[in-house]
Amino acid sequence: MSDKTANDAAILVEGNLLACGAGMSAQSRHDVKNAFHFATLVADKAFDAEKQSREWYDKFVDVMRDLGFTVPRRSFELETSAELSVTVGAVAIRAIGVAGNAMLGGTKLGDLAKMAFDKLTTVENDAKVLDHKRKNKARGMVGMAACIETDNHDVVMVVSCIQASAPQLDDDVLGIQWKLDKTHYYAGTAILTLNNFVYDKVRETVENKLGVRSVENVLQYDI
């Protein structure tokens, strides 16, 4: 699975959006998707994302670290917005762009997150996406992540999680277009880099625990 992937991809995992850049090895993309999925399930089982958003976020990042991701930066803070009405997706994309620029320089991670966001908003009426939404309870934490593999074969991911309550009339399949009507909201951001030596030792366990869920609760689109 060492062949390079040809296209950027937007991957919907348990209601969260993961963007993977073209040029990643197929193995790296597979590992990142499964680790992201596994950490989400563990955090979901341990904490109610709506009522315990800080604990949920910390658990997610801790599981990713246990799987072999180093975490050079993580935060969960009360943020403010001068805008009266801003979408969750816009906030997450901006956070990914800022963190990605700090880590790697340039706008590649932010641009990748924006493309994934745009792609998923165009397929909202896809029957598979609607079914995916029904299988996932309304989340109190909306997550987006963008991941690339550098020329030096370093796999770098930036995760942005925004605390947001679902509106009563939820026409937004993904949650990323929910309006943040408050000027204050909680947001978590983490930069993670994959240590393949460590993940090699847990890959089989992760895949066995995910089982059929690694296929059933994951949708992927080229972008």
Query: Per-residue pLDDT tens for 199-222?
Result: 999 999 999 999 877 766 676 777
Q: Which residue has the higher pLDDT, 54 or 130?
A: 54
Give the closest residue to 15 by CA, choosing from 223, 221, 219, 222.
Answer: 219
Residue 217 resides in a domain: yes
Give the closest residue to 161 by CA, choosing from 36, 35, 11.
Answer: 36
Q: What is the mean pLDDT of residues 189-193?
A: 91
Q: What is the mean pLDDT of residues 130-138?
A: 47
Burial class of residue 86, CB neighbours in 10 A (0-12, 13-18, 19+) = middle
Q: Which residue has the higher pLDDT, 107 or 136?
A: 107
Q: What is the mean pLDDT of residues 18-26?
A: 90
Alpha-carbon span 183 to 84, nearest angstrom: 7
Beta bridge partners of 18: 11, 145
The tokens for 3 are: 């062949």
Residue 53 resides in a domain: yes
In this model, does residue 13 exceed pLDDT 60? Answer: yes
Place of tokens 């059929």: 212
- 181: number of CA atoms within 13 Å, CB side? 3
Alpha-carbon span 209 to 217, nearest angstrom: 14
Residue 3 resides in a domain: no
DSSP code at position 105: S
Alpha-carbon span 190 to 170, nearest angstrom: 28
- 171: number of CA atoms within 13 Å, CB side? 1
The tokens for 76 are: 């969960």
Residue 15 resides in a domain: yes
Residue 171 resides in a domain: yes
Q: Which residue has the higher pLDDT, 97 or 208?
A: 208
Residue 155 resides in a domain: yes
In this model, does residue 90 exceed pLDDT 90? Answer: no
Residue 2 resides in a domain: no
| Domain total in the chain | 1
Residue 4 resides in a domain: no
CB 39 within 8 A of CB 60: yes
Confidence of residue 187 (pLDDT cuts 50, 70, 90): confident
Instruction: Write out the residue range of the structural domain in which residue 169 sits.
Output: 9-222
pLDDT of residue 185: 73
Alpha-carbon span 134 to 170, nearest angstrom: 12
CB 4 within 8 A of CB 26: yes
> In angstroms, what CA-CA distances link 10 with 16, 22, 33, 120, 218?
10, 11, 11, 7, 10
